A and B are shown apart, each in its own frame.
Chain A
Amino acid sequence: MRAFRRPKTDDSTYDLNLAPMLDIIVSIIPMLLLSVVFVEITVVETPVPQAVERAVAAQEEKNEVQITLSVSKTSGFRLVVNEKGQAKETNIALKGTELDIEALKKEIIQTKLRYPNIFRVELNPDESVPLAEIVAVMDGIRTKSKNDPTITFTDVTTGKPMETDLVFPDVVFGNVAGG
């Protein structure tokens, strides 16, 4: 009797050759490592008003609302809203020895709700205020937080009401050229 022999078949499993893939990855990684950004740098817009432009703008906006925010390390914030020659002043005292940015945010939202079509604030920091605190103030008045009330302004081109998260995104250093 002849012995039963099973036919020879190839194994259905096989090894995938990953070496070319590894070559590609090893080539890409050094290139990416060279161009990788671990710290993202952005910019904060702070246009400086030219003296002449400022004078012209002041003339043009004679009857408009002007909002000025003074920052001091000794007395805190002083928010002045000048509407048609009448000034309304609000003072926010220091919280201990630090600037009370939370109180400023609340006050600035109330001001924005009163004047929703105004987006510019003139910032006048004292000479002793460090840049980090100036940027923190600018961040505080630029956008509203989730819990703040909705801000609706009138679109200049369409005349329709629009919602925005921006409070006062246009911050100008008012005291650069004297003052």
Chain B
Amino acid sequence: MGRKGMGKYIDKRTPATFKIQITSMVDMFVILLVFLLKSYSTSPTQINPDKNLALPVSTSSKPPVDALKLVVSKAGIFVEDKKIIDLNQGAVNVSDVDASDTNFIRALYTELDQQAQKSKSIAKVNETLEFDGKVIMQADRDLPYEILRKVMYTSMMAGYSDVKIAVMSTR
């Protein structure tokens, strides 16, 4: 090939830019988008259980409501992410319960009472809010009724008598 022929060949070559085929990538993203939209939560209240907390499984399909969050794990009792007392392998230490009433957890009552007073004082100035005594209890599935009874009894004494147990839905 002479000098002239080489020049013609260089001119006829395809340009250096090229197009990426993104059709299959868009297909994949659309499938992902549909899956994510299906599992998108529209509930106003979100409960994110702790990784060390195994909630019981239930067929209940009632969505959670906006209420005070009470966590009872094997390690301790928490109110709105604040640790109230330590539990010894799911049992309340003797020093944490009232001597005359073994179902009454003093520190938990103090915290719940404070929360109730705060809610009541807000409800006084804001007519749209009302203290309804609702509490969502996230409790470990292996905990015995003994500890749950103590927690429910104490919350009842503090004015939180509408206890809702958080569960993992099987539906």
Contacts and interface: CB of A to CB of B under 8 A. Distances in A.
Contacts of B71: none
Nearest to A36: B39
Contacts of A11: none
Contacts of B22: 18-19, 22
Interface stretch (A1-9, A26-34, A110-118): A26-34
Interface in A12-54: 15, 18-19, 21-22, 25-26, 28-29, 32-33, 35-50
A136 to B, nearest CB: 8
A21 B25 CA distance: 11
A129 B144 contact: yes
A43 B138 CA distance: 9
B162 A48 contact: yes
A122 B26 CA distance: 56
A92 interface: no
B58 A176 contact: no
Nearest to B138: A41
A144 interface: no
B145 A126 contact: yes
Contact of A143 (B29, B59, B156, B161): B59
Interface string B90-120: 0000000000000000000000000000000
Contact of B58 (A37, A130, A138): A138
B60 to A, nearest CB: 5
Interface size class of B (residues with CB under 8 A): 35 or more
B130 interface: no
Contacts of A153: none
Nearest to A50: B161
Contact of B144 (A22, A36, A127, A177): A127
Interface stretch (B5-13, B62-70, B77-85, B121-129): B62-70
Contacts of B162: 45, 47-48
A58 B31 CA distance: 57
Contact of A32 (B25, B37, B55, B139): B37
B18 to A, nearest CB: 12
Interface of A: 15, 18-19, 21-22, 25-26, 28-29, 32-33, 35-50, 125-132, 134-136, 138-139, 142-143, 173, 175-177
Interface of B: 19, 22-23, 25-26, 29-30, 32-33, 36-37, 39-41, 46-47, 49, 55-65, 136, 139-146, 148-149, 152-153, 155-156, 161-169, 171
Given A42-B62, A42-B168, A130-B145, 5 more contacts: A25-B33, A43-B165, A50-B161, A128-B144, A139-B58
